[in-house]
Chain A
Amino acid sequence: MTDPAAQQWPRIRPAGLDGLLVSFGDRLSEPANRAALAFRAAVERAGWDGVEECSTSLVSVYLRLDPLAADPGTIRAQADALLAGRNWYDAPLPQGRRLWRIPTVYGTGLAPQLHEAAQEAGLGVDDAIAHLSGTRLRVQTIGFAPGQPYLGELPPEWDIPRQTALTDSVPVGALTVAIRQVVLFSVSTPTGWRHAGQTAIRLFRPESATPFILRPGDEVLFPQVTPEELENMRSDADGGARAEALA
């Protein structure tokens, strides 16, 4: 028997009157994430009339339209044709990717939920730090807040739920974990993700010519540093983070 889900994706659905949502799955997977990134790039290149902007989330692409300027049916037909043009699940990752090393303090008063997160993952604190600092993660999407990445994927132990109660506020640069993902906060905000590490990087710099630092497809390591080392890095605009080009 064929898996009905296999027939279901990718799929185009209206999102309000002024949007179209092209989804490559209903679960996060690496191929679906790559497909979404590649499809968005193709829509950008196509430059269809009536498409006002185009964005990705983990496994989907959102097109904002002006339904009064162009027929949404026409745009949908164009999107259908583009979708059918190739297997998007084997599309390459975006060009110009970089590997970032972002110094991180694990635990201490700076990241008070490391123990709790390790416990949820069934790991000792040292193993938890080894996982978080040693796993090469990839930026899957930017969203929620400006320049804020969702990164994955952590080892299976980290399939831990979000907290039911929200933490009142985590600071800018907080490294938080849940559902095998890391979110690195670009703003200070309440969250249900557990605060396991703290960095000194500012991911949103509205005053700069490059306001948004990370891009989908970039890879990131979070090497461990001491609180004193991190403090010294705070005077650096990148908080001690360094990037190298990935071939």
Chain B
Amino acid sequence: MTRALIVRQAGPGLSLQDTGRPGYLVYGLSRGGAADRLALAEGAALLGQPGDLAALEMAGMGGAFEATQTIRIALTGAPMQAAIDGTAVTWNASHTLAAGATLTIGAARAGVYGYLHVGGGFDGPVTLGSRSAHLASGLGARIESGASLPVGPDKGGETGLALPVDDRFSGGTVRVVPGPQTGLFPDDEIARFDATQFTRDTRGNRMGVRVVPDGDGFAPEGGLSVLSEVIVPGDIQITGDGTPFVLLAECQTTGGYPRIGAVLPCDLPRVAQAAAGTGLRFRFVTPGDGVQAMSRARAHRKALAKSAHPLLRDPHTIRDLLAYQLISGVTDGGL
């Protein structure tokens, strides 16, 4: 039987995502790829495989899955309730999914995008260098119930590894640098933007998220209309009613709204992972500080594989351990 993961039941927002399609901006195609790049790297580190393999991105909730052959899996990104044949399994960790066993992944406890990685990565047609669905451009499709997702060859490796992960799933402060249109905004508007508390709106998807200010909206000086210009993920557009819209992986490639600044690439997962209703703040930093932050983030990503450590208990005893934990009242699955 082919190596595949069968989707018994699909949540509403499942799609295959990898690192996307860089290089097509000039043709009007944005890079796309995983909304939370760091989660992709974490999955690769847990399974000891390259970082550009496709994973299943799950917006809000997962589904029920079954493997045709025994495979290795890893779970990263927004923490979700996960279990194999009814036994809770740890998030931010790798596991063995036996042939025929059912993996269930429920709703996100925090954040938006969870990721299911498989040893060898998901296979499937490569279009313009990537397996990522880019739904706005008609590339790929949502994964529906009944789908059979081919799994690539796995060179094998350990499972039962976990990664320590800092919380980036509950909003907070993200760093911003000035962009070419920041100067269109008066200094006091910039200062107010920097000091304002925002709430992630219900309007948001892989293209971007609207953030509602606790107070008035923002406006460029003289309400200047700007010429359509290149836009990229991280840009903060100020839309017609003064509400900021932060662009994410699958944004369009040109836009005519003025941009007040740009979120640092390393802080963008925090924006993507802020669920509706979550608080966000934007803090301007100097380009020098921004590059330092990027450098630290890259070093952290490179060191991920080394920071993977065995789960505290032998995974073979996980069933007993879970029973013990239920008795003791620890139900978080944080084994």
Contact = CB atoms under 8 A, between A and B. Distances in A.
Contact of A142 (B28, B137, B226): B28
A154 B228 CA distance: 17
Given A146-B29, A204-B137, A17 B230 contact: no
A67 B291 contact: yes
B26 A54 contact: yes
Nearest to B26: A55
B290 interface: yes
Given A14-B287, A64-B25, A206-B128, A144 B253 contact: yes
Nearest to B289: A17
A104 interface: no
A143 B27 CA distance: 6
Contacts of A59: 227
A40 interface: yes
Contacts of B226: 26
Interface string A36-77: 000010000000000011111111101010011000000000
B289 to A, nearest CB: 10
25 contacts: A14-B180, A15-B230, A15-B262, A17-B265, A17-B291, A19-B262, A21-B180, A26-B227, A27-B227, A53-B25, A55-B230, A56-B26, A56-B230, A57-B254, A58-B229, A62-B232, A64-B22, A64-B25, A67-B294, A142-B28, A143-B28, A143-B252, A147-B27, A186-B28, A204-B138
Given A15-B179, A54-B26, A211 B128 contact: yes
B300 interface: no
Interface string A186-217: 11010000000000000010110001100000
B178 interface: yes
Contact of A16 (B137, B229, B262): B262
Interface in B107-165: 127-128, 136-139
B294 A146 contact: no
Contact-size category for A: 35 or more
A82 interface: no
Given A68-B294, A143-B253, A145-B252, A212 B27 contact: yes
A28 interface: yes
A19 B31 CA distance: 15
Interface of A: 13-19, 21, 23, 26-28, 40, 52-60, 62, 64, 67-68, 141-148, 150, 186-187, 189, 204, 206-207, 211-212
B180 A15 contact: yes
B180 A68 contact: no
Nearest to B23: A53
Given A26-B226, A187-B138, 6 more contacts: A18-B265, A62-B25, A62-B230, A62-B232, A143-B252, A145-B252
Given A68-B295, A150-B228, A145 B136 contact: yes
Contact of B228 (A143, A145, A189): A143
A23 B287 CA distance: 20
A53 B26 contact: yes
Contacts of A211: 27, 128
Contacts of B23: 52-53
B179 A143 contact: no
A13 B180 contact: yes
Interface in B261-275: 262, 264-265
Contact of A189 (B136, B230, B253): B136
Contact of B180 (A23, A54, A146): A23
A60 B177 contact: no
Interface string B283-302: 00001001100110010000
A99 to B, nearest CB: 21
B290 A17 contact: yes
Given A67-B294, A143-B254, A16 B179 contact: yes
B234 interface: yes
B42 interface: no
A40 B235 contact: no
A60 B227 CA distance: 10
Given A17-B294, A21-B180, A206-B127, A146 B264 contact: no
A67 B262 CA distance: 15
A16 B234 contact: yes
B324 interface: no
A68 B300 CA distance: 14
B225 to A, nearest CB: 10
Max chain B CB contacts within 10 Å: which of A13, A18, A146, A186? A146
A211 B29 CA distance: 11
B139 A206 contact: yes
Nearest to A145: B28
B298 A16 contact: no
Contacts of B295: 68
Contacts of B253: 55, 143-145
